[in-house]
Amino acid sequence: MQEPARILIVDDEEALMTALTNTLRDHGFETAGFTRGEEALAALREKQFQILLSDMMMPEMDGLTVLRAALEIDPHLIGIIMTGAGTISTAVEAMKTGAFDYILKPFKLNVILPVLTRGLAVRDLRLKNEALEQKVRQRTAQLEVVNKELEAFAYTVSHDLRAPLRHIANYVHFLTGSTSSTLSDQDRGFLSHIVNSTERMTKLIDDLLAFSRMGLSELRPAAVDTQALLEDALKQIQPEIGTRNIVWKKAALPPLQGDPALLRQVLVNLLSNAVKYTRQRDPAEIEIGCQDTPDETIIFVRDNGAGFEMKYAAKLFGVFQRLHRHDEFEGTGVGLANVRRIIARHGGRTWAEAKVDEGATFYFTLPKKPRGETN
């Protein structure tokens, strides 16, 4: 059973104080009444009260002084000032210093009870908010610890896993060079497979590290010249393009708001995918365009490459998810996972549409009004 709310009453007119104390007790409250502010504050130090009802005009210590001292003792206390009609302006001033509300004398029970109910509800809400904020602070501290552990893990992966792979590759190259005349074609094939596997494993480690760090890096939002960002991304993947016959269709892209470095990585990943999966097309056709809605900007990269079956579309943006064999198209399946993570942190969406052997279109959106970061 819930305990009754405790109300501390201070009024230098003893008859009024006693009447209010008894009336509120009859309505289910636990009350304590005093005619002097010092006595009330002493009671507050010994016992917790939810509400303070204090008369404004009192000798020795007025209601405003009592209220300030009481809030220093218990910041969660709901202070309500009792005043005559002639001192309403003073009561309003008291509210500016921390009072929740004021009540006019002579008292009317149908006025007092709703004010008390609202005061208790506000106090309960404040306590819940404070508890929630404390949980958020604790969660933030825990996440900081986890992030540091992830950074340590990333270093361990980078150092402790790469080193054995380098040793394996070096020994294979040594064996190939020192025993080349005695190796059979089958032996050379085995060694070649070992080298290829170490290279793939190194690439997998690099991509895994990039994915883990993507969630740790801080967003640095700014105005983005999307057109310039696209040209930078194309320059970055130029070695993959080489001398291939690619027809580029580039629409004018609007300026956006976001982290330029991370959005550049999105474009690099999507363009690199388009270049890779159109490898068997001559000419390849890659289109970069945009669509506008009231709430967000949609940017897409469309190609005429290998495509995929839409029933597998949900797998595309998962870590290490691939829809093609490695001997058809290289890769680790991390690039699109990075795209989704980056766009999600910007408050946007990602999806894809495709048909087998008819190409694919990858979409991402950015909100026109920046939202809070998400992970």
What does the pLDDT look like over 104-154, one tens digit per residue?
Answer: 888 888 889 999 999 999 999 999 999 999 999 888 888 777 777 766 776
Any domain includes 214: no
Asked whether 46 and 72 are in contact (CB, 8 A), the reply is no
Whose structure tokens read 């990585």? 265
Number of separate domains in the chain = 2
The residue among 59, 89, 107 that closes a domain is 107
Q: Is residue 234 domain-shared with residue 357, that is, in the same domain?
A: yes
Owning domain of residue 238: 220-367
Any domain includes 38: yes
Whose structure tokens read 């402790």? 160
Any domain includes 163: no
For 131, the token pair is: 């508890």
Q: Is residue 234 domain-shared with residue 362, that is, in the same domain?
A: yes
Q: Is residue 236 domain-shared with residue 99, that is, in the same domain?
A: no
The residue among 53, 77, 107 that closes a domain is 107
Any domain includes 197: no
pLDDT of residue 327: 45
Percent of the chain past pLDDT 70, that is, above it, reads: 86
Pairing of strands 101-104, 78-83: parallel
Residues 311-334: tens digit of each pLDDT: 877 777 765 555 545 444 455 567
* N-to-C CA span, the chain: 41
Residues 180-192: tens digit of each pLDDT: 667 788 887 888 8
Domain CATH code at residue 48: 3.40.50.2300
pTM score of the predicted model: 0.53
Any domain includes 176: no
Q: Give the gyration radius of the chain's Cα atoms.
A: 35
Q: Taking the alpha carbons of 110, 115, 116, 120 in that order, is the dihedral positive or negative?
A: positive
Phi, psi angle pair for 329, to nearest 5°:
-140, 125
pLDDT of residue 87: 63
Q: Which residues make Cβ contacts (< 8 Å) with residue 32, sequence separation at least 6?
A: 6, 7, 8, 9, 21, 40, 43, 47, 49
Pairing of strands 284-292, 51-55: unpaired
Any domain includes 47: yes
Any domain includes 335: yes
For 35, the token pair is: 């005619």
Phi, psi angle pair for 66, to nearest 5°:
-60, -45
Any domain includes 262: yes
The residue among 63, 80, 107 that closes a domain is 107
Asked whether 63 and 39 are in contact (CB, 8 A), the reply is no
Domain CATH code at residue 327: 3.30.565.10
Q: Which residues make Cβ contacts (< 8 Å) with residue 53, sequence separation at least 6?
A: 7, 8, 9, 10, 11, 20, 80, 82, 103
Asked whether 150 and 212 are in contact (CB, 8 A), the reply is yes
pLDDT of residue 187: 80
